[in-house]
Chains A and B, each alone.
Chain A
Amino acid sequence: MVTVVAYTLLGLLLAVLQTTVPMFNPMWIGAPDLYYVLVAYLAYRMDILRGLIILFPVSWTMDVLSGVVLGTYPAICFIAFVLLKFTSVKMPVRESLYQVPFIGVSYLVVSKFVYLILSFMEPGVLAPWSWPTVLLRVLLLVVLAFPLFRLFEMVNRRLQGSLIPFKMLRVQGGNRYRQEMEKK
């Protein structure tokens, strides 16, 4: 529960940060998609249920702060989450060496896919697709993925070693003796 709240707050902070600090003007293309790094982190490190619970408010916030077609960001977030989760479980990209470049690749694939869907459903609403700007975004994402992953890991460690041991407060059901024996 604490992890979910903490990462949700972190995601909201990233969404707000992305729409203010690196946006020097409304046409600025060099603003990295920070929320996407969180999506990737959740896909790699968290179970599906908690990942989806965190992604809901974060993607909705992005939807409110950016864009004119509601549902664009939830679509991007959930497709990316499923794709990355699938690859992290089923494919050899579980190796951390490939994880960061794969975030960039998945961003490109998911962006193009959602763009095609939107341009089909809402013609004339989107700005033309531009490979140089999208590739710049991919590059920024890959560059920022590693430090942000470090930050997320740090937050995770802090939560594990927090002053209040939340795990101890949790009510445990069933035969605990048997559970411990099974663990051994």
Chain B
Amino acid sequence: MRARGGSKRNNGFRALRIVLFSGILLTLALIFLVSTLGTQRFGFVHKLIFETTAPVQAVLARVAGYVNVAREEYLALFSVREENRRLWKALQESREAANLNREALATNARLRKLLEFKETTDLPMLATRIVGKDPSLWFRTVVVDRGSSDGVVKGMPVVNGDGVVGQVFSVSPNYSKVLLAIAPSSAIDVLLQKSRVRGILKGTGSLTYKLEYVLKTVDVQEGDHVVTAGYGGLFPTGMPVGVVSQVVRKRRGMFLDIEVTPTVDFLTLEDLLIIEREMEFTR
């Protein structure tokens, strides 16, 4: 009974303390409110709160700034990637166009050269293009895209803007095989342009010719031009064939050993002209 009476007293005391504490707090709050609103003064408490919260604000603002920048950069990456793709495509298209232009220029130059050559002579000529090359190590031939249906006949001379390339070796309706002048089985009647001395130009299988049957008594110098002789009616007279690059006078024998460098660049052959001549012996 006694303990219960003590407990009731304790509860009453606690309620009183709460009421007192709330009253004090309320009074202080009222005082603070009245003093603040009344005077509009930025007091000590304000400053304390300000000083405490502002650094946190600053840190958070900085973090938010970083996040924002990162987000923007991440989003920008998508557009950059798209831009990069677009620019690459544009670059590739430009490169392709440039390549085509270069190729067109080269073709133009080549064809112009052929045309100029064609205009210098009144012989009927047929433009043709190489479509295949002989892969063997022993023979030197190419396949061109003109044949008997275009009037091509075995034996017709084949030239380009620089000079003699070879002659037609075999013919089908739409294609022909051309024996290059550098082939070992090729032999062309030629003249030394300066001395008008005749000889036989033979292929060696490499990028040089051998001029045979020129007597030792003939004055041949390096740099002399070699042109077609026109005998036999196969090649027209005076077409450039090569330039003498070496003359060897051996002690034995009647003839000179003469090496001739072709005027035609056989490594870059593409477009050719077939000279349409009447080949009685092949018909």
Chain A contact residues, CB within 8 Å of chain B? 16, 18-20, 22-23, 25-29, 31, 33, 64-69, 72, 115, 118, 122, 124-128, 130, 133-134, 137
Dominant SS among interface residues on chain A: loop
Report the minimum CB–CB distance from B265 to chain A (whole Å): 9
21 A-B pairs, CB-CB below 8 angstroms?
A: A16-B132, A19-B134, A19-B135, A20-B131, A22-B135, A23-B133, A23-B135, A25-B268, A26-B133, A26-B134, A33-B135, A66-B134, A66-B135, A67-B139, A68-B141, A72-B138, A124-B185, A127-B138, A127-B139, A127-B206, A128-B204
Docked pose: A26 CA to B132 CA in angstroms:
9
Interface contact A27-B267, CB-CB below 8 Å? yes
Report the 3 A-B pairs with minimum CB-CB distance, sorted nearest first: A127-B205, A23-B133, A25-B267
A-B contact count (CB 8 A): 90
B134: chain A residues within 8 A (beta carbon): 19, 23, 26, 65-67
Q: Which of A66, A128, A134 counts the most chain B CB atoms within 10 A?
A: A66
* Cross-chain contact A126 with B135 (CB below 8 angstroms): no
The stretch that binds A, out of B112-120, B176-184, B214-222, B249-257, is: B176-184
Q: How far is the CA of A66 from the CA of B169 in the complex (A)?
A: 11
Closest to B135 in A: A31
Q: Which residues of A sit under 8 angstroms from B142, Cβ to Cβ? A: 26
Our pick among A18, A64, A125, A130 for the contact of B135 (Cβ within 8 Å) is: A18
Excluding A26-B266, A29-B137, A65-B134, 13 further A-B contacts by CB distance (< 8 Å) are A19-B134, A20-B132, A23-B135, A26-B141, A26-B180, A64-B177, A66-B141, A68-B179, A68-B185, A69-B139, A127-B139, A127-B140, A127-B205
- Report the contact-size class of chain B (Cβ under 8 Å from the partner): 20 to 34
Complex CA distance for A72 and B137, rounded to whole angstroms: 12
Residue of B132, B138, B141 near A118 (CB, 8 A) is B138
Q: Does B136 contact A (CB under 8 A)?
A: yes
Query: How near does chain A come to B259, taking the closest CB pair, in angstroms?
Result: 15
Given the known A-B contacts A23-B135, A29-B137, A31-B135, are A125 and B185 also in contact in the complex, defined by CB atoms under 8 Å?
A: yes
Q: Does B207 contact A (CB under 8 A)?
A: yes
Judge whether B243 is part of the interface by a CB distance below 8 angstroms. Answer: no
Task: Mark interface residues in B120-149 (1 if CB within 8 Å of A CB, else 0).
Answer: 000000000001111111111111000000
Query: In chain B, what residue has the closest Cβ to A122?
Result: B185
Closest-by-CB residue of A relative to B184 is A127
User: Hey, what's the 0/1 contact readout for B147-191 against A, CB within 8 Å counting as 1?
Assistant: 000000000000000000000010000000101100111000000
The residue in A19, A27, A130 that gathers the most chain B C-beta atoms within 10 A of its C-beta is A27
A19 CA / B269 CA spacing, docked (Å): 15
In the complex, the chain B residue whose C-beta lies closest to that of A19 is B132
Q: Is the CB of A25 within 8 A of B269?
A: yes
Give A134 to B136 CA distance when docked, in angstroms: 10
- How far is A69 from B183 in the complex, measured between Cα atoms in Å? 12
Which of B134, B137, B206: most chain A CB closer than 10 A? B137
